[in-house]
Amino acid sequence: MGRECARCTGVLPDGKPTQENIMTEEASQQAPAAPAQLPPFYRNPVPIDANRHAKAGLRPRTDVNFARDTNAIVLTVSEFAVAARFYPIVFTSDSPAMPFAVVGLRDRENLFLDAEGRWEESTYIPAYVRRYPFIFSEVPGSTQLVLCVDEGAEHFESESAEPFFVNGKPSVVLERALKFSETFQADFAEARRFGEWLDSHGMLEEKVARTTSEDGQQFTLRGFRLIDPEKMRTLEDGQVLELHKKGWLPLIHFHMQSLQNLGALGRRLRATQPESAAAS
C-alpha cells in the first residue's frame, strides 16, 4: 500500500489513459478534444495510506452511475468469452490496439443502465467497472505499482462502517480490492500483448459501423478497428500455432462472434431523437 499521500497519476501501467468513447458520427465531425489526464470514471485517485485512510471506506451502493457517460469500456482477455454474448467487441484505432466493449450508439451514453443507474440484470458487467474506485498507478521512476482509491467517487467516505484498515492493517475489504486489481492488471497486460501482436501482423482494419433503431433512426460509429477475416484466412501455419499456444486464438473467434450484437444495441435505444455530446 502506498504510504505517500500525493495524487495518483491515474494512468494504467502502459502509461496511456484508456479511450472513453467510440466516436459517433456527430462527434467525429467536431474538433478532437485534448487527451484526458485520467482514465474514465476517475476524478481524484490517491495512494491508499494507513494514516490518511485509517477510517475511510466505501458506502454500499447498487448503482454504477459513474459508468453512464461512456459508450465503450475497456476489456481484458479473460472477459472475451462472456462479454461476446452481450456487446460488440472492437479494438482502438490507435496502437497498441486495446479491446473495448461497445455499450452505446451515441456519444456519452451507456444503454445498459436504467434510470437509477443500475446495470441491466443478467448481463455481464465489465471488470473495469467492477474495479472502480480502485486503480493501480506507477511509482515515478520505478516499475512498482501502488493501489489508489478515487476520493472523488460518490460512494467514498472518510469515515466508514467498513474501513480499509482495522488496527492499522488492511481489512478484508481492502485485501479483496487489492487481489481483484492485481488480477485485472495482469489480464490488462495480456490484452495489450494480444493487441500488439495484432498490430505487428497487420490484422486490424479501420471500420465504420451502421445500425438502425426500432423506430428507424440510423446511427454510425467510427474510430475503431476490427480483425480482417481475409488476414485471418491467409495466416501462416506457424502464426496460427503461435496464437493457439498463447491462448489467443479463441479471442479472435469471440471478437468476430460478438459483432452480431451491434444490431441488438439499436433495439435497446428508446429515445425518439438522436442527440450527441462532444467526445471525450
Residue located via cell numbers 486503480:
135
pLDDT for position 270:
57
Within a 13 Å sphere around the CA of 230, how many CA atoms are in the beta-carbon half? 2
**Domain total for the chain?**
1
pLDDT for position 79:
98
User: 237-246 vs 249-258: helix axis angle to the nearest 10?
Assistant: 90
Q: Is the peptide bond before 40 cis (omega within 30 degrees of 0)?
A: no
Radius of gyration of the chain (CA): 20
Q: Is residue 104 part of a domain?
A: yes
What would the mean pLDDT of 111-119 be, rounded to a whole number? 95
Q: Return d(Cα 21, Cα 260) in angstroms, integer.
A: 20
Q: Is residue 127 part of a domain?
A: yes
Give the 3-state secondary structure of residue 39.
coil
Q: Is residue 274 part of a domain?
A: no
What would the mean pLDDT of 203-222 be, rounded to a whole number? 85
β partners of residue 166: 169
Asked whether the predicted pLDDT for residue 277 surpasses 60, the reply is: no
What would the mean pLDDT of 203-213 be, rounded to a whole number? 88
Q: Is residue 277 part of a domain?
A: no
Q: CA end-to-end span of the chain, whole Å?
A: 31
Q: Is residue 13 part of a domain?
A: no
What would the mean pLDDT of 98-118 be, rounded to a whole number? 93
Q: Is residue 276 part of a domain?
A: no
What would the mean pLDDT of 212-241 be, rounded to a whole number? 90
What would the mean pLDDT of 248-273 be, rounded to a whole number? 84
pLDDT band, very low/low/confident/very high, at 244 (cuts 50, 70, 90): very high
In the DSSP assignment, the letter for residue 66 is G
Q: Is residue 11 part of a domain?
A: no
pLDDT band, very low/low/confident/very high, at 122 (cuts 50, 70, 90): very high
Residues 219, 225, 230, 233: what is their CA dihedral angle, to the nearest 10 degrees?
Answer: -130
Residue 272's contacts (CB-CB under 8 Å, 6 or more residues apart) are 215
pLDDT for position 219:
83
Q: Is residue 160 part of a domain?
A: yes
Q: Return d(Cα 62, Cα 139) in angstroms, integer.
A: 33
Give the 3-state secondary structure of residue 134.
strand
Side chain identity, residue 6:
A
Asked whether the predicted pLDDT for residue 34 surpasses 50, the reply is: no
Task: Output the CA torsion sign for 62, 90, 214, 86.
Answer: negative
pLDDT for position 142:
73
Which has the minimum average pLDDT: 44-53, 196-205, 215-224, 245-254? 215-224
Q: What is the span of the domain harbouring residue 69?
A: 23-268
**Regarding predicted confidence, which is higher, 253 or 35?**
253
pLDDT band, very low/low/confident/very high, at 237 (cuts 50, 70, 90): very high
pLDDT for position 103:
96
Measured in degrees and rounded to the nearest 5, phi and psi for residue 274 equal -70, 135
What would the mean pLDDT of 177-205 be, rounded to a whole number? 96
With beta carbons less than 8 A apart as the criterion, state whether 265 and 111 touch.
yes
Residue located via cell numbers 433512426:
217
Q: Return d(Cα 1, Cα 178) in angstroms, integer.
A: 9
Cell triple for 271: 429515445
Asked whether the predicted pLDDT for residue 35 surpasses 50, the reply is: no
β partners of residue 133: none
Q: Return d(Cα 189, Cα 191) in angstroms, integer.
A: 5
Q: Taking all residues of the chain, what is their mean pLDDT, rounded to a whole number?
A: 84
Percent of the chain predicted with pLDDT > 70: 83
Which has the minimum average pLDDT: 4-8, 113-117, 129-133? 4-8
10 Å Cβ neighbour count for 262?
18
Q: Is the peptide bond before 133 cis (omega within 30 degrees of 0)?
A: yes
